[in-house]
């Protein structure tokens, strides 16, 4: 995946998380499946985690309920992430 594709992949992850208006977060497996609706094939959970961690470091997403452990990690989009999605249309 080149830099441009990586950027689109990250944006697709943000769009998936942006669609989640519930009070719960989405896990990597769920995000990976839901990417299908945003121009990507189903992604492996590990690939999603790699990128979500990058997005979290940028403050675009945040992890919820860390106490649940590594196997049950889940994320939701931040206000900064929403701004990026809105900016990109």
Partner 1 sequence: MNKKARPDSVLKTLPADRQGAIAEYALGHTLAETVKWLRADGVHTSSSALSLFLSSYRLSQRLAHNESTVDTLLAKLQGTRPDWTAQQLHEAGQAFFSALAIDAQDADVWTATQRLTLDRDSARTRAEFEREKIDLRRQAEARSQDKLRFEREKWILESCKKILAAATDAKSREIAELNVSDEEKIKLMRQTWFADVDALEKSGEVKLPE
Q: Quote the DSSP letter at residue 23.
A: S
Q: Which of residues 1-60 bind partner 1 (CB under 8 A)?
A: 15-16, 18-27, 29-30, 33-34, 37-38, 42
Neighbours of 86 (CB within 10 A): 9
Question: Looking at 2-10, 49-57, 63-71, which segment touches partner 1 (CB under 8 A)?
Answer: 63-71
Contact between 72 and partner 1 per CB under 8 A: yes
CB 44 within 8 A of CB 30: no
Question: CA 10 from chain center: how many Å?
Answer: 7
Of residues 72, 19, 83, 67, the one with CA closest to residue 49:
72
**Residue 51 or 77: which CB sits closer to partner 1?**
77
Specify the residue, 37 or 59, whose C-beta has the smaller distance to partner 1.
Answer: 37
Place of tokens 């989009």: 77
Residues that bind partner 1 (CB under 8 A): 15-16, 18-27, 29-30, 33-34, 37-38, 42, 64-65, 67-68, 72, 74, 76-77, 79, 82, 86-87, 89
């Amino acid at each position: 995946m080149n830099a441009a594709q990586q950027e689109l992949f990250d944006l697709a992850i943000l769009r998936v998380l942006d669609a989640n208006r519930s009070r719960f977060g989405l896990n990597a497996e769920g995000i990976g499946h839901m990417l299908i609706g945003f121009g990507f094939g189903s992604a492996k959970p590990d690939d999603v985690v790699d990128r979500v961690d990058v997005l979290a470091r940028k403050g675009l997403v945040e992890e919820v309920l860390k106490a649940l452990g590594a196997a049950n990690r889940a994320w939701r989009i931040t206000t900064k992430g929403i701004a990026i999605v809105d900016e990109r249309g």
